[in-house]
Chain A
Amino acid sequence: MPELVNLEVFRYSPEHTPEPRFQKFQVPYNKEWVVLDALNYIKDRTDGSLSFRWSCRMGICGSCGVLINGEPKLSCATFLPSKSSKPIRIEPLRHFPVIRDLIVHIGDFMTKLKKVKPWIIRTNESPLSEGEFLQTPDEMERYHQFSHCINCMLCYAACPIYGLDPLFAGPAAIALAQRYNNDSRDQGAARRMPILSSHDGIWACTFVGECTQVCPKHVDPAAAIQQYKLTAALHSLKSVIAPRGAA
């Protein structure tokens, strides 16, 4: 008799039952299996209607984020615990509206991400003949960590501030803005500032630090936010002391 693992999976299908519920499943234990394998096993063998997102199966696409026993995690990067007496509880990411089962609506994050202009902005374009923008390893190091973000939104599910104040731009959007602000090729910091230093930008953050704890790519969005607070504070100080210089 193979060892079995018990799962409790959040189900929500408004066209059948208006209220969400938890459904129990059993899957065989396999030491190479991650939670996503268990979900796929259920979909293939037990209940084809179970809905969840995934794509790469290797922590790159950022689409398989769920809550596993209350912790935001990538289901493709979380191994099944062996001999777990308690069932493993799998829920959709917190703080996002649920469309169906484990699938959440990510529109809010996408809108916020676009607002912080996460791309290289140039105020003066140089002609192609001048060649590429060169960057030293040291210059790259200044933003490299923030560039690892895979938009998995685990940090949003971990952040109580985002849950309480849905207008908050949120950890990943700010970290990605900093990824470009710190890039030696970028000239868009001034254009990002009004969004980042607004009330719903960095100042909504009270440094709970959970975003950094749950980030599977070690982006450290909490550090990005605190660093920008310092930048914004120095900027407003400068604009008081030397109004022309700070402009």
Chain B
Amino acid sequence: MTSHSGYTLHHPQWLRRRVSTWWWLSRWRYFKFILREITSVFVAAAVVLLLLYVAALRRGPDALIAFQSWLSRPPILAASAVVFFFTLIHSITWFNLAPKAMKVRLGNIPVPPALIAAGHYFAWLVISLALAWIILTGG
């Protein structure tokens, strides 16, 4: 736990306790935090997937069709579902934390935290609907 070199008069030997590598397992709240952090890996995976899509699009129609058929293979579909699920959790936890970082005031009246979170969800919904409309109607 510690190393000691005896006691020196008027110079107390402090005890320094090291943080365990497994600190995040010691409390449920720490563990929840680590889970939230891990979801970022899936967000990164979603970004990589999107970039691959754009790269295929750039290479022309054949490459795009090949990429899309690769995407629709069952294991890739399953992996995409997992990535989507964790990206969703990441977004929800992010939006729920947003009011902590933002103190918005309308004139002199502070906007309640729930309303700030609701604003984020609303923007998310509007952007998602707009994208869905563009994709489904072909622009």
Contact = CB atoms under 8 A, between A and B. Distances in A.
Interface residues of B, number: 27
A163 interface: yes
A156 interface: no
Q: How large is the interface on A (under 10, 10 to 19, 20 to 34, 35 or more residues)?
A: 20 to 34
Interface in A5-61: 12, 14-15, 18-20
A108 B64 CA distance: 58
The B interface is mostly helix, strand or loop, or mixed, namely loop
Contacts of B16: 97-98
Interface in B22-53: 23-24, 26-27, 29-30, 33, 37
Contacts, number: 70
Contact of B19 (A99, A163, A220): A163
Contacts of A138: 108
Interface in A172-227: 206-210, 213, 220, 222-223, 226-227
B19 A95 contact: yes
Interface of A: 12, 14-15, 18-20, 70, 94-95, 97-100, 105, 138, 141, 160, 163-164, 206-210, 213, 220, 222-223, 226-227, 229-230
Given A20-B2, A98-B15, A210-B30, 12 more contacts: A14-B12, A18-B13, A19-B2, A19-B4, A97-B14, A97-B16, A98-B17, A160-B30, A164-B23, A208-B33, A223-B100, A223-B101
Interface of B: 1-2, 4, 6-7, 12-17, 19, 23-24, 26-27, 29-30, 33, 37, 97, 100-103, 108, 110
